Amino acid sequence: MVGEKSGGWGRAALLDNPRVRGILYQVGLCVAVAFAAVAVWRNVADNLARNHITSGFGFLDQIAGFDISQTLIDYSVQTSTYGRAFWVGLLNTLLIAVLGIVLATILGFVIGIARLSRNWLLANVARAYVEFVRNIPLLLQLLFWYNAVLKALPDIRESIPIAGIALLNNRGLFLPQPSFGPGLAWAALAGVAALAIAFVWRFIAQRRFERTGHPLPVLVPGVILVIGALILTYAAVGGTIEFAFPQLGRFNVSGGVEILPEFVALLFGLVIYTAAFIAEVVRAGLLSVPRGQSEAAAALGLRRGQILNLIIIPQAKRVMIPPLTNQYLNLTKNSSLAVAIGYPDFVQIFTGTVLNQTGQAVEVVLITLAVYLALSFATSAAMGWYGARVAFVSR
């Protein structure tokens, strides 16, 4: 009797332990999730069997048989597979994401700095931009740029010539297409070597600045070095460049490079929308730096531009990086709205056309989730690495 009571008291005391209770709750939750996953999988398997749909990723080797309006790699309607269409859509999404992040960052920094300007007109124009743009749904902005601006351009027979080398109409912007001769590989190697030298020069300039406080120019010499190396090397090996200019026909434009209006509308919409949020991130980061820093720098004789570039922005970066990462992730995921205006991004190609033609809903959705999860992890990792580099180190 005493043993039973002591055993009961022992179990009660064990359950009163918060750590033990926490472990039990977690085990119970894991078991419930496992049962739910099994139930979902059985339901999916039953539905696939009922509709005579085979599961697996073998469909990626089948011929796609549909056209894609923008391809950064070779793609053929007759011979390319669904796997090839996967890479075409992924590259189109990466193109819009990378360009959007770069341009939105530049525009956001300009607007954010303008919001703190001493010029009343400039500061209020920047404020009106932020308040107006970020309170209008992105989808509505994309439809505006596509339907009200770009589709309102003249048709192909009334194309607008630009400097005699380009054409603009409601089908897009047609630019000269360059064609490079032999020697391009040597020029590329010279460009890589020049880029490495530019990074070494940046390291030397940074060390000298930390030691003496006197900055050396880095960006302009680096750009001149890389571009000069590319041009001079290509010319030295006898390389030539030929251009195929767009030619206006009766019903179409032949030759040249076509920039789709869907691409421009999506890029404009994402950049202008995201830049409004980045501007507020920049403004908050700049305001986080104590005012005494600027006053001390001004007392030392530094100009306003030097104070901003050498003192305020380096300290504000550590505050801006986490919310900037969120905005970059939002821009990448918001690019999936391209389906609304017909731009062939990953979602439009894979989750739209491929899913409709194959019926492999589970596999297509899993691949789509994995792609966007990988893009988010890669962006977060890159920004985390950069944040660690610019973080203050206690000495």
Selection from 183, 177, 165 nearest residue 240 by Cα:
183
Residues 6+ apart with CB under 8 A from 65: 77, 78, 357
* pTM score: 0.83
> 333: burial class by Cβ within 10 Å (0-12, 13-18, 19+)?
middle
Amino acid, res. 212: T
Tokens encoding 308: 């901003």
For position 326, what pLDDT does the model report?
Answer: 95
- In angstroms, the Cα distances linking 317 to 273, 277, 289, 389, 392 are 22, 16, 10, 10, 10
**Which residues, including other chains, have CB under 8 Å from residue 61's CB and lie 6 or more apart?**
81, 82, 83
Q: Map the chain to HEC letters.
A: CHHHHHHHHHHHHHHCCHHHHHHHHHHHHHHHHHHHHHHHHHHHHHHHHHCCCCCCCHHHHCECCCCCCCCCCCCCCCCCEHHHHHHHHHHHHHHHHHHHHHHHHHHHHHHHHHHCCCCHHHHHHHHHHHHHHCCCCHHHHHHHHHHHHHCCCCCHHHCEEECCCEEEECCEEEECEEEECCCHHHHHHHHHHHHHHHHHHHHHHHHHHHHHCCCCCCHHHHHHHHHHHHHHHHHHCCCCEEEECCEECCCCEECCEEECHHHHHHHHHHHHHHHHHHHHHHHHHHHCCCHHHHHHHHHCCCCHHHHHHHHHHHHHHHHHHHHHHHHHHHHHHHHHHHHHCCCCCHHHHHHHHHHHHHCCHHHHHHHHHHHHHHHHHHHHHHHHHHHHHHCCCCC
**Other residues' Cβ atoms within 10 Å of the Cβ of residue 40:** 10
> How far, in Å, CA of 32 to CA of 174, rounded?
58
Tracing tokens 């992890």 back to the chain, one arrives at 377
Tokens of 194: 């020049």
Pick the CATH number of 102-181+240-344 from 1.20.59.10, 1.10.3720.10, 3.30.1550.10, 3.40.309.10: 1.10.3720.10
Give me the amino acid identity at 283.
R
Q: What pLDDT shows up at residue 120?
A: 92
pLDDT of the chain along its 395 residues, tens only? 445 555 555 566 666 777 877 888 899 899 999 999 888 878 877 776 776 667 778 889 999 999 998 999 999 999 999 999 999 999 999 999 999 999 999 999 999 999 998 899 999 999 999 999 999 999 999 999 999 988 888 888 888 888 888 888 888 889 888 888 788 888 889 989 999 999 999 889 888 877 887 778 888 888 999 999 989 998 888 888 888 888 887 778 888 888 999 999 999 999 999 999 999 999 999 998 888 888 888 888 888 878 888 788 888 888 899 999 999 999 999 999 999 999 999 999 999 999 999 888 888 999 999 999 999 999 999 999 988 887 765 44
- End-to-end Cα spacing for the chain: 66
